[in-house]
Amino acid sequence: MDTLRRHYPEYLMEAAGLGIFLISASLVTALLEYPTSPLRQAITDPLVRRFSIGVAMGLTAIAIVYSPWGKQSGAHLNPAFTLTFFRLGKVKSWDAFFYILAHFIGGLMGLIVAIWILRDAIANPTVNYIVTIPGANGETVAFFAELIISFGMMLMVLFVSNNRKLNKYTGLIAGSLIAIYITVEAPLSGMSMNPARSLASAIPAQVATGLWIYFTAPLLGMLFAAELYVRLMGTKAVKCAKLHHDNNYRCIFRCNYRRSAADGRWDLSDKLPSS
């Protein structure tokens, strides 16, 4: 298949990106939640531990977005992101299919690597393969919590990534939101926003509690955000599907930015190409 042959580097980057994110999440959670960990014993306040995990994962996300891989693939790392940009007409059908497949495979591979590294620690009930399950308030609250945070994340990405002056800060703001969400929202739903991330943890944990939430709420929340953005700004305001575009890396999406022949960089002006 021609699309697979030409774009497989981006697919591998997406798989590796989510895998790295989940390895990082497993390591950080084990360090801060495993009972015999020195950090767990030193930090007794659950809120402080969640904040620490949030900061670590926010920094991980930022590092991935601004890495060479993230700059080239767009750093979706999430089937809900890809499907939303597909709905907005920025991702072609075969690219969307292979991106989503890469997310699910990459997430599971990341958990397998984390299990190999952490062994008993990741299986301990305090870590439990970093599985995302509804909190004490139940599935309904977890569903709407996931819906709201996913809506907020996608709306931010659309407004910031399509703004000429703010585009380069999209990854920084996304990482900050992840840190805030983990700190504040995690007790309600586990803070997923990502069906591939939740399934990757659910398989080794053998826990399917509320799994439907993580396949529906993130996608619905992001689609609602996309609909609102288009109604406010218009379809043409959505320029591309990358979180970071002001770089020298190729773009495989239906992109409305123009590459400069002089230096190979992208013209991030608010004017669309004439062609």
Q: Which domains does the chain have, with CATH numbers?
A: 2-267 (1.20.1080.10)
For helices 211-233 and 79-87, give the axis angle rounded to 10 degrees: 30
DSSP state of 102: H
Sites in the chain below the pLDDT cut of 70: 258-275
H helices of the chain, in order, are 2-33, 38-42, 46-65, 68-73, 79-87, 93-118, 120-123, 139-161, 170-184, 186-189, 195-205, 211-233
Q: Model's pTM, two decimal places?
A: 0.92
Note the pLDDT tens digit of each residue in 110-152: 999 999 999 999 999 999 999 999 999 999 999 999 999 999 9
